[in-house]
Structure 1
């Protein structure tokens, strides 16, 4: 793991000990969420997707993505006992105190726990006595630990029922639903188990002020009306959903009168037809937002709900897009005093704060599952899975500082800052992919920088076509072979695109800039240094092999300098910029 980009831990001084002060229970006051002092609280959080509940895309599996299906495939390779060992390690390693400490150091004040009910109670069909509930300490103990870490950092923990008994929708991956068994909506026993579980949770945490809220059913997506879209986006009444939400609320209020209750509509959380007005005086209306425009029109429905019902609204889940989209969405929320919670903290993918690396053994397993490789031996597969469980630890993750920067800094500033600190005395190499951090048009320019397919009605777009290293519009690809995570280059460059690099120089002088490029056909580029544009230069055709093109007599001043690299006629790749002081 020594070749990974590791997170530099700067968090121990601010976490690691219990805080003496407290903000008390959150509660609603009209259209806002406030603490015990009556001060407005803007929740800034991340959901722990993939922790208690895996979804297939987070593990890059090529088959149906319910956790029980993933588990069956793992058992086929290593058997039940070793599969149990893998899942025990996964649950232990995925989210630990160091993850919550890190979130606090980055600026987050809340965390949403997507719970799988089967860590707290048995499935209905496995109960020894029909109609009764067997309680499992595993889930409660995991929640207790997470709460203690959140409390130590003065962060609010929001409990989210992500996988309800039987599953709450047709989007089966979300809730680990087995379609061969009755869903939540087809089984009174499943509904009663969910109600009992929430009463049990509320009873356990009723006196805990750092429990921020109860998010009682995540993303219902089920039609209750004949002839409507199966995911409930067109339903006009939603009567069974409202009844269950009310029943859960009543069960919670039997034992807990202080915690906020969060509700979600049908159709993945946003269809509130027949559900409102709220029925509790300490309730928040949640909505989820993915892949659409970040304009007022995209949230107007929920602004109207807030005004009409004098009730706070909260963006309970969003993400899975580019840094451009993240910055725009968070700016929109905060301009409207709407708290937000991103999805997820980590996965096997590049567009989240933490990326779990794919070890060679797990890569072989994925190739086998895709039909592209032979079946690994049990020993090989076991090693691959256990290394994956080890890699899920934060210190073995790739830390995407640009994602966090896009969420926490960029919504509030137009300033670009260096991706990596570079100080040049006589020479240095700047990786092409290490352009500055900042908004599009400030740190870089790219023609495709986010995915808006819901609003456009078109196909999904990939902003970074190489899907690695960074999460902006710039297209970054891995070198072959790739020995380190930063063995990458910038490709798919088009006319009008550019990247900016900020660095320090120890003293004034003239320098040569050598650009390492590869192109099948000639292209052209230009550089601007500290606002001065230099003449365009040719990027030679090199049959796809790497070659150097040098621009001479570039004046740098002592202190901070900036280079902008402009694409005039694209189609070439750029791996690095070498800077050498002239003798």
Structure 2
């Protein structure tokens, strides 16, 4: 093992996360998004994971379906990946999980051991390289938010309306806590990714409940609690729970195609700082630690953007400025994300890999249609949706047109969620799956192996920025 096992679980002490000796630890790492919770822009399918999997099962049949996804899960993150992250000076990996690895919706009272085997493999690989892990529940039955990444397949967060859903996930967290009790390489639990509770009270009630029930079986591990409305709003939070770190997500619009280019002006820097300060006001008022669970720009593709070098230099610059802000407050962070098909990851599948070669026409079509919400460019289809948006704005009374939660989406965001990200994308899953039709076991293995680290390309500019920042204040056991 690369590092000695920590003597005790990390814990909260004032505004710090500390180790067993009381020494402050600043966690700096990344998330394995797209792995144990797949997402459309990360690996290229449209819509939602459970819809894509259903289409793939129909095309491949059970034996080939199991083979392909077992290989994908095996290859996507291994000991070699953990070793690579360690080489950059990072000390923590956030593991986003789809609840379906643990719970079959048709038999929800049974916790599947396969889920523990899957997560154990990642936790153990990271521990072997001296990396902490944070276990993050990224999806919930009914959806804890309205987004694609909750894998609900709908545009409402029904988790908050059904006690049965809440009972299931509380019980699952109790079992997870039992399983990892005493594991000092686990830096803690992130019980819910990006909650979006329209009433702003149900989330806090569930946090109180799950904290109490986790503590009954595991009194030691830290809980990392996201703010409401996609981890950006603590305005309705009334209390601080013990041994908890409060978590923001801090994406900057200047790191995305729809945002203004980052030129490093004083006004832009002030915008970045104010956005961060608004999100952490609760933590600073209550003197508790801060964890930025997600942030990071997206990057232009050399294959289709002749100005990619200029664009990406600006994206690196905005990331660097954000890290400067975080460093001043000595907060922990986890960048989104580690590995993908070339949009945001620290490493990505090679353009000439079997997976990318097979799906090249589909990925180009999906990008042209702007099916994914994350970082899309509406150059080719904006004229189609503009009249629809205007029609609703003309017909809905002004006081109601932007009333639907999350209000920050405005009517535009809700229209795109229903039409493109839900209906259109769900139907397109069948077209995606058709590319895998007739593939042999050997071909399926090669497709999955496109995500092996040895077959991936590192985004050196991004990784160098992270490496330099990780050298400052990052403490390994």
- Band of TM-score, shorter chain: 0.7 to 0.9
Quick check: 1:88 aligned with 2:70? yes
Quick check: 1:297 aligned with 2:274? yes
Could you tell which deviates more after superposition, 348-357 or 214-223?
Answer: 348-357
Quick check: 1:240 aligned with 2:224? no
1:353-411, Cα deviation, whole Å (9 max, x unpaired):
21112535654445258499996583258766543311111111112222110122269
Deviation at 1:336, TM superposition (A): 1.1
Quick check: 1:275 aligned with 2:254? no
What residue number does 2:6 align with? 22
Other structure's SS at 1:319 match: coil
| Match runs of 1:202-213 below 5 Å | 202-213=177-188
Q: In 2, distance between residues paired with 1:176 and 1:304?
A: 30
Alignment RMSD, CA only? 2.7
Quick check: 1:392 aligned with 2:451? yes
What residue number does 2:119 align with? 143
What residue number does 1:356 align with? 349
Q: Does the CA contact (< 8 Å) of 2:139 and 2:149 recur in 1? A: yes
Higher relative contact order (CA 8 A, sep 6+): 2
Q: In 2, distance between residues paired with 1:362 and 1:291?
A: 28
1:494-545, Cα deviation, whole Å (9 max, x unpaired):
xxxxxxxxxxxxxxxxxxxxxxxxxxxxxxxxxxxxxxxxxxxxxxxxxxxx
Deviation at 1:57, TM superposition (A): 0.8
The count of aligned residue pairs is: 374
Quick check: 1:334 aligned with 2:327? yes
Q: In 1, distance between residues paired with 2:463 and 2:161?
A: 41
What residue number does 1:257 align with? 219
Other structure's SS at 1:311 match: coil
Choose the corresponding residue for 1:200, options 172, 175, 179: 175
Q: Does the CA contact (< 8 Å) of 1:98 and 1:394 recur in 2? A: yes
Q: Would the alpha carbon gap of residues 67 and 382 (structure 1) be closer, same or farther in structure 2, given more than 3 Å must change?
A: farther
Other structure's SS at 1:75 match: helix
Q: Does the CA contact (< 8 Å) of 2:127 and 2:185 recur in 1? A: yes
Q: In 1, distance between residues paired with 2:284 and 2:435?
A: 58
Q: In 1, distance between residues paired with 2:323 and 2:436?
A: 47
Q: Would the alpha carbon gap of residues 382 and 268 (structure 1) be closer, same or farther in structure 2, given more than 3 Å must change?
A: farther
1:253-272, Cα deviation, whole Å (9 max, x unpaired):
11111111111122111112
Q: Does the CA contact (< 8 Å) of 1:47 and 1:113 recur in 2? A: yes
Q: Does the CA contact (< 8 Å) of 2:195 and 2:229 recur in 1? A: yes
Quick check: 1:323 aligned with 2:323? no
TM-score (norm 1): 0.60
Q: In 2, distance between residues paired with 1:384 and 1:407?
A: 35
Quick check: 1:407 aligned with 2:466? yes
Q: Would the alpha carbon gap of residues 23 and 302 (structure 1) be closer, same or farther in structure 2, given more than 3 Å must change?
A: farther
Q: In 2, distance between residues paired with 1:181 and 1:332?
A: 34
Q: Does the CA contact (< 8 Å) of 1:78 and 1:381 recur in 2? A: no
What residue number does 2:379 align with? none
Q: In 1, distance between residues paired with 2:112 and 2:295?
A: 30
Deviation at 1:220, TM superposition (A): 1.2
Structure with the bigger percentage of strand: 1
Q: In 2, distance between residues paired with 1:368 and 1:44?
A: 35
Q: Would the alpha carbon gap of residues 161 and 411 (structure 1) be closer, same or farther in structure 2, given more than 3 Å must change?
A: closer
Q: Would the alpha carbon gap of residues 76 and 300 (structure 1) be closer, same or farther in structure 2, given more than 3 Å must change?
A: same
Quick check: 1:308 aligned with 2:302? no
TM-score (norm 2): 0.72
Q: In 2, distance between residues paired with 1:302 and 1:135?
A: 35
Deviation at 1:151, TM superposition (A): 2.0
Choose the corresponding residue for 2:193, options 218, 223, 227: 218
What residue number does 2:133 align with? 157
Q: Would the alpha carbon gap of residues 145 and 251 (structure 1) be closer, same or farther in structure 2, given more than 3 Å must change?
A: same
Q: Would the alpha carbon gap of residues 118 and 308 (structure 1) be closer, same or farther in structure 2, given more than 3 Å must change?
A: same
Q: In 2, distance between residues paired with 1:377 and 1:297?
A: 47
Q: Does the CA contact (< 8 Å) of 1:78 and 1:382 recur in 2? A: no
Structure with the bigger percentage of helix: 2
Deviation at 1:351, TM superposition (A): 3.5
Choose the corresponding residue for 1:111, options 86, 93, 113: 93
Could you tell which deviates more after superposition, 328-337 or 286-295?
Answer: 286-295
Choose the corresponding residue for 1:37, options 9, 18, 21: 21
Other structure's SS at 2:3 match: coil
Q: Does the CA contact (< 8 Å) of 1:327 and 1:411 recur in 2? A: no
Q: Any gaps of 5 or more consecutive residues in structure 1? A: 1-16, 225-237, 414-583
Q: Would the alpha carbon gap of residues 78 and 100 (structure 1) be closer, same or farther in structure 2, given more than 3 Å must change?
A: same
Could you tell which deviates more after superposition, 153-162 or 141-150?
Answer: 141-150
Q: In 2, distance between residues paired with 1:368 and 1:302?
A: 38
Deviation at 1:325, TM superposition (A): 2.2
Q: Does the CA contact (< 8 Å) of 1:331 and 1:412 recur in 2? A: no
Deviation at 1:273, TM superposition (A): 2.8
Other structure's SS at 1:398 match: strand
1:341-362, Cα deviation, whole Å (9 max, x unpaired):
0111000015422111253565
